[in-house]
């Protein structure tokens, strides 16, 4: 009866002490904005799932699609994230296996010599009666068997399992974050590469027109219409145009190499199957409401999982105040003579059950305070991550809207430059102006087109950035990212 009462008392103490396992997790409540403060006329609110949107397909560019798919299959940083996820999976499995007892198999042999001439056998063990008191005696033997062992703190294992699951979720979200980043980097690099090729073309055209202007000014100089200062100014202008060409070519090479690295290829040229003029920036960007952004972005999910981990850590530390139960045993065979190794002298088994819990360990209280400090830091890291997410989306909307307005203004200027060139050609034919002036109007068109080209590159990059900060596309074609396999030589295929 007393044993039953002790069990009941112990159970009630444990159940009443469940608060020691740490506080229940409560998601922080944030006053998310109901709408974005920045307005963008080219965007509309949408409830469409951003992670499942293959937004790069909207550009109808097969080469862009192929590069994104290649990066999702081959990117090295993405495979690093997959490796970290595999480690987290193994850690979870290890915790789950902690519920299963361990079994060891072992054996031992021993030998010795007895040489005490005053020995008296008072043990009642008959084998020792054969010892000669005047001569040294040898003895030997062996033992072997299985040794099961089970040490468990139930509450600690529960918390360790919870933490291992949360860490696995963090690594899974890290894979999503890496996929999101890889997709954005590929798209940005591809659009930049197309824009640089177009910029090189425009720069070469500008240089050709500048040289034509120099030629016609030389004719005027020979006739005494202009002075040497005009020619020297043009020479300086031509030199500045020429120095830009190697710079653009170098940028093309670096962008091509960046794309090759993203797709896990050696450096080299990338064959372009499209032109920059064919890429449209008119596609409408769907923008989710602020609350949906929280669910879409992997970095926000990671910050919350880290908060949950730190909350569980409090329980993991406090679980050390509970008893740890140890169950060990031995079962096997043994003999006193090594010569009887295969003629076993007898079987045996032993067992032991024990439990222990801290009584005086002030360090555990410090560990609890440390875990609470970790939760405190994780809480404000989560808040900061969410605030940054809101700010980045709002900044992205503002930037995209600003670039669209700039492009329209520059486009109107381009139309004016074309009109001026058309009028100049008519005046030249009528003899009102020189051919050099007409070529000057043509150079003005070149400059305006170069400005439009730069703005278009920025527009496309802002579109890519918008999809990234909205967490768009990382779930699309997720089956392409597979764990590589080791072969017999430990190479990865």
Query: Could you report the per-residue pLDDT of 137-165, keeping only the tens digit for each?
Result: 666 666 666 666 655 556 666 777 787 88
| Cα torsion angle, 389, 390, 391, 393, sign | positive
- Per-residue pLDDT band for 387 (boundaries 50, 70, 90) equals confident
> Looking at the predicted structure, is the pLDDT value of residue 327 above 60?
no
Q: What angle do CA 116, 118, 120 make, to 5 degrees?
A: 105
| Bigger pLDDT: 395 vs 21 | 395
493 occurs within a structural domain: no
- 3-17, 30-44, 262-276, 438-452: the lowest-pLDDT one: 3-17
- Per-residue pLDDT band for 379 (boundaries 50, 70, 90) equals confident
Give the model confidence (pLDDT) of 205-258 as tens digits: 999 999 999 999 999 889 888 889 989 999 999 999 999 999 999 999 999 999
> Looking at the predicted structure, is the pLDDT value of residue 6 above 80?
no
**Which of 24-33, 39-48, 131-140, 174-183 shows the highest mean pLDDT?**
174-183
> Looking at the predicted structure, is the pLDDT value of residue 61 above 70?
yes
> Looking at the predicted structure, is the pLDDT value of residue 356 above 70?
no
Give the model confidence (pLDDT) of 173-220 as tens digits: 999 999 999 999 999 999 999 999 999 999 999 999 999 999 999 998
> Looking at the predicted structure, is the pLDDT value of residue 459 above 80?
yes
User: For residue 156, what pLDDT is reported?
Assistant: 67
Classify 224 in phi/psi space as left (phi over 0), alpha (psi -120 to 50) or beta: left
**Which of 24-38, 58-72, 102-116, 297-311 shows the highest mean pLDDT?**
58-72
What lies within 8 Å, CB to CB, of 125 at 6+ separation is: none
What lies within 8 Å, CB to CB, of 403 at 6+ separation is: 455, 458, 459, 462
| Bigger pLDDT: 95 vs 60 | 60
CATH code at position 198: 1.20.1600.10
Under 8 Å between Cβ of 258 and 270? no
User: For residue 120, what pLDDT is reported?
Assistant: 62
| Bigger pLDDT: 281 vs 149 | 281
| Bigger pLDDT: 12 vs 420 | 420
pTM over 0.85: no
User: For residue 1, what pLDDT is reported?
Assistant: 43
Mean pLDDT in the chain?
79
8 occurs within a structural domain: no
123 occurs within a structural domain: no
Q: How many domains does the chain have?
A: 1
| Bigger pLDDT: 197 vs 118 | 197
**What kind and span of H or E run contains 15?**
helix 2-16
User: For residue 139, what pLDDT is reported?
Assistant: 63
- Per-residue pLDDT band for 8 (boundaries 50, 70, 90) equals very low
**Which of 321-330, 342-351, 382-391 shows the highest mean pLDDT?**
382-391
What are the two backbone dihedrals, phi and then psi, of residue 28, each rounded to the nearest 5 degrees? -60, 140
433 occurs within a structural domain: yes
> Looking at the predicted structure, is the pLDDT value of residue 367 above 90?
no
User: For residue 10, what pLDDT is reported?
Assistant: 43
> Looking at the predicted structure, is the pLDDT value of residue 17 above 70?
no
144 occurs within a structural domain: no
**Which of 96-100, 166-170, 185-189 shows the highest mean pLDDT?**
185-189
- CA-nearest of 169, 150, 204 to 446 is 204
What lies within 8 Å, CB to CB, of 181 at 6+ separation is: 468
418 occurs within a structural domain: yes
- Per-residue pLDDT band for 38 (boundaries 50, 70, 90) equals low
For 280, the domain range is 21-100+154-322+363-480
Helix, strand, coil shares of the chain, percent, nearest 5, are 65, 10, 25
248 occurs within a structural domain: yes
- Per-residue pLDDT band for 64 (boundaries 50, 70, 90) equals very high
62 occurs within a structural domain: yes
What are the two backbone dihedrals, phi and then psi, of residue 483, each rounded to the nearest 5 degrees? -75, 130
Give the model confidence (pLDDT) of 255-274 as tens digits: 999 999 999 999 999 988 88
């Amino acid at each position: 009866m007393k044993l039953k009462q002790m069990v009941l008392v112990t159970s009630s103490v444990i159940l009443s002490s469940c608060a020691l396992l740490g506080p229940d997790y409560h998601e922080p409540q944030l006053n998310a904005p109901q709408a974005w403060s920045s307005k963008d006329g080219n965007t509309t609110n949408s409830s469409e799932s951003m992670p499942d949107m293959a937004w790069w397909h909207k550009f109808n560019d097969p080469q862009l699609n192929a590069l994104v798919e290649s990066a999702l299959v081959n990117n090295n940083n993405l495979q690093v994230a997959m490796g970290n996820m595999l480690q987290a999976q193994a850690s979870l499995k290890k915790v789950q296996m902690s519920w299963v007892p361990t079994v060891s198999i072992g054996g031992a042999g021993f030998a010795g010599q007895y040489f005490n001439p005053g020995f008296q056998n008072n043990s009642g063990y008959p084998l020792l009666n054969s010892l000669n008191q005047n001569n040294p005696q040898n003895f030997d033997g062996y033992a072997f068997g299985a040794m099961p062992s089970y040490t468990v703190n139930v509450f600690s294992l529960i918390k360790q399992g919870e933490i291992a699951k949360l860490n696995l979720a963090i690594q899974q979200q890290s894979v999503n974050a890496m996929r999101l980043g890889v997709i954005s980097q590929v798209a940005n690099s591809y659009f930049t590469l197309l824009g640089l090729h177009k910029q090189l073309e425009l720069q070469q055209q500008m240089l050709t027109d500048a040289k034509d202007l120099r030629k016609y000014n030389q004719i005027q100089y020979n006739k005494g219409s202009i002075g040497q200062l005009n020619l020297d100014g043009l020479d300086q202008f031509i030199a500045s145009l020429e120095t830009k060409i190697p710079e653009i070519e170098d940028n093309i090479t670096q962008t091509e190499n960046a794309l090759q690295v993203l797709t896990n290829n050696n450096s080299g040229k990338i064959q372009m199957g499209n032109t920059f003029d064919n890429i449209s920036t008119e596609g409408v960007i769907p923008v989710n409401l602020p609350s949906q952004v929280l669910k879409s972005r992997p970095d926000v999910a990671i910050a919350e999982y880290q908060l949950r981990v730190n909350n569980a850590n409090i329980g993991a530390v406090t679980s050390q105040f509970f008893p740890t139960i140890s169950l060990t045993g031995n079962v096997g065979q043994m003999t006193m003579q090594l010569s009887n190794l295969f003629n076993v002298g007898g079987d045996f088994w032993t067992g032991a059950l024990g439990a222990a819990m801290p009584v005086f360990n002030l360090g555990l209280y410090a560990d609890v305070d440390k875990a609470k400090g970790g939760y405190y830091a994780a809480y404000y890291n989560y808040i900061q991550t969410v605030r940054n997410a809101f700010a980045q989306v709002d900044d992205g909307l503002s930037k995209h809207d600003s670039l669209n307005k700039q492009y329209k203004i520059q486009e109107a200027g381009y139309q004016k430059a074309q009109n001026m060139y058309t009028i100049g050609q008519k005046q030249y034919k009528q003899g009102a102006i020189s051919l050099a002036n007409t070529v000057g109007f043509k150079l003005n068109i070149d400059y305006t087109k170069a400005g439009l080209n730069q703005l278009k590159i920025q527009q496309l990059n802002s579109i890519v950035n918008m999809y990234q900060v909205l967490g768009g596309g990382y779930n699309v074609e997720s089956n392409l990212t597979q764990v590589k396999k080791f072969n017999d030589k430990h190479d990865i295929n």
